[in-house]
Amino acid sequence: MLNYYEILGVPPNASQAEIKAAYKKLAVRYHPDKNQGCALSEEIFKQINAAYQTLSDTTRRAHYDAILTYQAFYQSYTSNGSYTYTYQEKPSHQSGVETATTINDTQYALQWILGFIFLVTILVIGYYLIRGWIIHQRQEFAYYAKEEILRQVKFYEAEKEFQKAILYLDSLLKITAGYEEVFTYRRQILEKALLEAERLFQEGNYQQAVILLESINTSEQGKYDLYLQIALCYEKLEEYELALKTYQTTILRYGQLLEPYYRKALLLSELSRDQEALLVCDSAVKILVEEYKSRYGEAYPVLIEPNMFSEIHLKIFCVRARVFHRLNNLRRALNDCDWAAQLFPNRYEPYLLKGKILYENQQSGFCLYWQKAERLGSSQASKLKKEFCK
């Protein structure tokens, strides 16, 4: 086996810089361009290249060193007499030199295989040792990080700083394997935060309630119910523009849910911004009509069944009827009352509203509708009937 260190003229412990310098010096001396026609120079140049390619690569050099070490050990072993080989010449067409060459090749192959197995074994053992150490370090870090984060969460929970507690738990979800346990804890803190916000709202502390709800909303990435609660707080604080903006954000995020349309239209109507309220109502009614058509087809006005829809349908048509009335569109106001009564014949609201519209426009028949609303349980209709229906 060729000794690459001897070819380059460097010791076995030579650094990469020494190996590179020796290679450059020899390569210049034996380069074929400087020794044209010299087969010996060409052969030496090939050996120099092979030596440099092996020794300049750290992995290949380690493999080569292992083979050299094993070869030296093997040669030392056989030279001490522990291994002998007796060759008795037999009649053959092969010469003794050819037989000795075959033996040497076999020994070399065996050395190479054993050296390779030794190197692979060392690499595999090293890989699993390092991998186990890394896994252990990660687990240890995750454990201490989890304990520290939970300590911070409990502190913020006790201080009722729920947003910070939730944010810490969100960070914990990224590094812990106990996902369900942490997620359950997060949900419990969120429920506590919502209960605290509800308590503040009921006590009339709308400013603190909206601050808490806004902080939760940031962590929860804008949930539907939170938006509605926040908008209601702004209404109580008479921060009407913020309330309208929050309703509009909810509409943009949850376009098919009708509650924010109704609340926004109602607030605009109370602020006497009737044209804006009408636009919001029309958008909501368009969604309702698409729902009716998908269920009953184009003939939905005739085929629609009463009491089959949620209360929000009633609210939207009633608020639009009030808006039409304020805009002096009596016909459309009465039509919306009639449609609401068709959808919900057992609710007094459309009859009460229609009676008011008729009365305020000096139209007859208002007592009849108030009487019907009274039968359906409206105390307000009873008062109006007693006062205006003789």
Question: pLDDT (tens digit, 9 = 90+) per residue, 319-350?
Answer: 999 999 999 999 999 999 999 999 999 999 99
Residue pLDDT, tens place only, 21-66 = 998 888 888 888 888 878 888 888 888 889 898 888 888 887 788 7
Whole-number percent of the chain with pLDDT over 90: 45
Contact 159, 183 (CB under 8 A): no
CA distance 131 to 351: 77
109, 217, 234, 324, 349 from 278: Cα distances, Å: 93, 29, 22, 8, 19
Q: Output the six-digit token pair for 196.
A: 């605290």
Quick one: average pLDDT of 69-90?
Answer: 52
- 1 pLDDT exceeds 70? no
Residue linked to tokens 């008795």: 88
Number of residues that make up the chain: 390
What is the CA angle 231-233-237, rounded to 5? 115
**pTM (2 decimals)?**
0.60
CA distance 228 to 250: 8
CA distance 270 to 322: 10
Contact 66, 118 (CB under 8 A): yes
Instruction: State the pLDDT at residue 78.
Output: 54
Question: Which of 8-17, 18-27, 134-143, 371-380 has the weakest average pLDDT?
Answer: 134-143
Say whether 349 sits in a helix, a strand or coil.
helix
Phi, psi angle pair for 10, to nearest 5°: -125, 155
What is the CA angle 257-260-265, rounded to 5? 125
Instruction: State the pLDDT at residue 132.
Output: 85
**Rounded mean pLDDT of the chain?**
85
Contact 341, 351 (CB under 8 A): yes
> Which has more confidence, 266 or 5?
266
Nearest one of 27, 106, 121 to 74, comparing CA atoms: 106
- 219 pLDDT exceeds 70? no
Residue pLDDT, tens place only, 91-133 = 444 444 455 556 667 777 888 888 889 889 999 998 888 988 8
Residue linked to tokens 């092969």: 94
CA distance 87 to 368: 131
Question: Which of 64-68, 201-205, 216-220, 312-316 has the weakest average pLDDT?
Answer: 216-220
**Amino acid type, 326:** R
What domains are there in the chain, each with its CATH number?
A: 4-80+98-140 (1.10.287.110)
Burial class, 332, CB count within 10 angstroms (exposed 0-12 / middle 13-18 / buried 19+): middle
- 308 pLDDT exceeds 50? yes
